[in-house]
Amino acid sequence: MGPIDWLWLLHPALAVVIATKHPLSSFEGGGLRLALLLLVLLGSGVALAALWRVKRPAYRASFALLCWAGVIGLGLQPEVFRLSDNPLDPTFWQSHFWGGIGLTGLMLFSVACRPEIHKHLRWRRLHVSANALAALIFLAQGISGPRDLLEIPLSWQKPTLYGCNFEARTCPEPAPSPATP
């Protein structure tokens, strides 16, 4: 799977997280917010497709930035799990979300600069440096992703976990499971 394939998967992943956090009928902001988010999702997908089609460097850079802005806009919704939004907080730098945003920007940069990378040695060196940074971020993503998944309770776990008192280290007794014949 190439970098552009991962980008196509990122948009729907953010859409699923936003749409499944609460039922769509209780969506904060009502239908207008939902329509705007769908517009951002569609617009960033179109920008990604246009990035592959355009030839001029200024247009490629513009479409890459538009796509990245769409991903950031979708990711900054309150339904998306983030450890911190403050860069002065150490947990910000441990966040799987912000690492993913950085990787998305690096991948879009690589796609936008592809013709220049093929033509100029200086661009190739910059591309290799960006890929080395991306490899380090991917390594961190491999660690922070499972950690964050373990912090987010599954829907069937929420009633029990939210009933726990973590300071007293007590949880309610689980309901007896129905007998199966």
At 160 the pLDDT is 76
At 69 the pLDDT is 94
At 49 the pLDDT is 92
153-to-81, 137, 148, 157 alpha-carbon distances in Å: 11, 25, 10, 6
| Long-range contacts, 64-67 (Cβ 8 Å, 24+) | 64/108, 64/109, 64/111, 64/112, 65/108, 67/7, 67/108
List 165's β-bridge partners, or say none.
Answer: 170
At 1 the pLDDT is 46
122-to-31, 103, 118, 125 alpha-carbon distances in Å: 48, 21, 10, 5
At 6 the pLDDT is 47
Tens of pLDDT along the chain (181 residues) come to 454 444 445 556 666 666 666 555 556 666 777 788 888 889 998 999 999 999 999 999 999 999 999 999 988 888 787 888 888 988 888 888 888 899 999 999 999 999 999 999 999 999 999 999 999 999 988 888 888 777 777 677 777 777 888 888 888 887 776 665 5
At 174 the pLDDT is 73
